Amino acid sequence: MIVSEAERRQKTRAGEEQQRTRASAHNALLQLAGLGQSCWLDDLTRRMIETGELAGLVAEGVAGITANPATFAKSIINGKEYTTDIERGTAAGLNAEAIYEQLATTDVRNACDILRPVYDKTDGVDGFVSLEVSPHLAHDTAGSVAAAKRLWVAVDRPNLFIKIPGTAAGVPAIEEALTQGINVNITLLFSVERYEAAAHAYLRALERRAAADKPIDRIASVASFFLSRIDVLVDALLQQRIEAVPANVSDPKALLGKVAVANAKLAYQSFQQLFAGAKWEKLANCGARLQRLLWASTGVKNPAYPELMYVEPLIGPMTVNTMPANTISAFEQHGRVRETVGEGIEEAHRVMAQLRAPGIDFAEVAAQLEAEGIQKFVEPYSELMRYIETKCQA
C-alpha cells in the first residue's frame, strides 16, 4: 500500500501531538509532586499489568495504586485472564475465598514489582500498592489482624499496603498490624474524629515498636479520607430540606457540593496538629515517617459538578490523591496546580457549622456512610465468591 506524502505528514503530526500530550501529562503530575502531593491510581486489573498500561502510567508520574474488593470483583468477573488460575485453584481443592486471595495477591505482587523503582527512588515514600482484607471483617478485630498477616506474607513485598477499614473494631486491628511491622492503608474514613482515631493508632503502634527496640523507620501508613460519597448523601439530605427550612435560616442550597471538601480541609488541619510537637518529634528522631492523608473517592458522582472538584482544592504537602483513570486524564489536560489545602479554613468551619441549621447531624452522616461503604464492598465481594464457586463447579 502506497502512503501519500499528505498521509505521512498527517501521521507525523498525530505522533507529535501524542508526544506533546504525554509530556504535558507528565509535567502536570510532576508539578503536583513538586507541591508534595502524590497521584495514585484508584484501580488495578491484570490486563493493565499484562499490556504494559500500568507501567506506562507509572512512567507518566502515577506513584501508587489502590484497589478494593469492588474493583477486584469487576476485574475478575469480566476478565478472561483469570480463568486458568481459577481452574488451578479448583484442582488444588481451594475454596472460593482462597482462590480469590491467590488471584488478588498475584496481581498486587506484580503491581508492587512495577512500582518498586518508585518506592526505591522515593526512599519508601511512594510506590505502594494496596490490598484490602475481606469486607466481612470490618467489625472483627482479630479476624482483620489474621487476614492482614496472611496477605502480607503472601505478597511478600515491602511496598505493600494492607487496607483495613477505620471502624471501631478496625482501629485496634490497625494498631496491632502496624505494631507487627505491616504497612496499613486505613480506609473508609468519613469524619475528622475517625481520622484522628486512625492517626492515634499509628502513633501508638510506633511507640510500642520503639519501646520494644524495634525499628520504625520503614513502617508506612496512609489514612484514606473519603470525599464524593459525602456530598452524595449530604446533598440528598439538603434537597429534602430546601423547601421546608424557615426563611430566617441559612439557605441549604448554599451548602450543596461544599461539605466533602470542607470536611477534608479540617482533617488536614488535624493532621498538621497531630504530627507536630514534642511527642511526634521524639518518634521522628527515631526515623518515624508521617502518616499521610490520602484523598479517596475523588471521582465526581454528580455530573453537574466540576470533574476536578475533589482534586484542585486539596493540593498540599504530605498528601496523596488517589484518582480514577478519567479523573487523572482530566487533571493532566486542564488541572490547575497550586497549593490549596490550607485555604478557606474559616469557610470550612462555617460550612460544617451551618449543616446543623437545617437539622443535619454530620456524625450521623459519617456513621451512615461508613455502614454503606462496608456494604458497597460486601456486595461485590459476595458476588465474586458466588462467581468463583460457579466456575469451580463447572
Domain-located, residue 42: yes
Contacts for 382-390 with beta carbons within 8 Å, 24 or more apart? 383/73, 383/77, 384/69, 384/72, 384/73, 384/76, 384/77, 384/100, 385/96, 385/97, 385/100, 386/96, 387/73, 387/76, 387/77, 388/76, 388/86, 388/96, 388/99, 388/100, 389/96
Residue carrying C-alpha cell 470542607: 262
Domain-located, residue 363: no
Closest CA to 195 of 83, 308, 273: 273
**Domain encompassing residue 215:** 34-228+258-342+377-393
Domain-located, residue 266: yes
Domain-located, residue 132: yes
Active-site option among 80, 149, 163, 265: 163
Q: Give the angle 12-16-20 at the CA atoms, nearest 5°.
A: 170
Instruction: Give the predicted TM-score (pTM) of the model.
Output: 0.90
Overall domain count for the chain: 1
Domain-located, residue 126: yes
Closest CA to 100 of 391, 393, 324, 376: 391
**Bridge-based pairing state of the strands 221-226 and 292-296:** parallel
* CATH number of residue 305's parent domain: 3.20.20.70
203, 212, 270 from 278: Cα distances, Å: 13, 20, 16
Domain-located, residue 306: yes
Mean pLDDT split into 10-residue runs, the chain, 394 residues: 45 42 63 96 95 95 93 90 93 94 96 98 97 97 98 98 98 98 98 98 98 96 98 95 66 93 98 95 96 97 96 98 95 94 98 93 98 95 94 84
pLDDT for 243: 72
Domain-located, residue 61: yes
pLDDT for 148: 98
Task: Compute the distance between CA of residue 335 and CA of residue 307 in angstroms, rounded to an integer.
Answer: 10
129 forms beta bridges with 65, 160
Domain-located, residue 265: yes
Cell of 81: 485472564
pLDDT for 245: 60
pLDDT for 25: 46
Does residue 253 carry a catalytic annotation? Answer: no
Q: First-to-last CA distance in the chain?
A: 48
Q: Taking a C-beta distance cutoff of 8 angstroms, is the pair 134, 147 a contact? A: yes
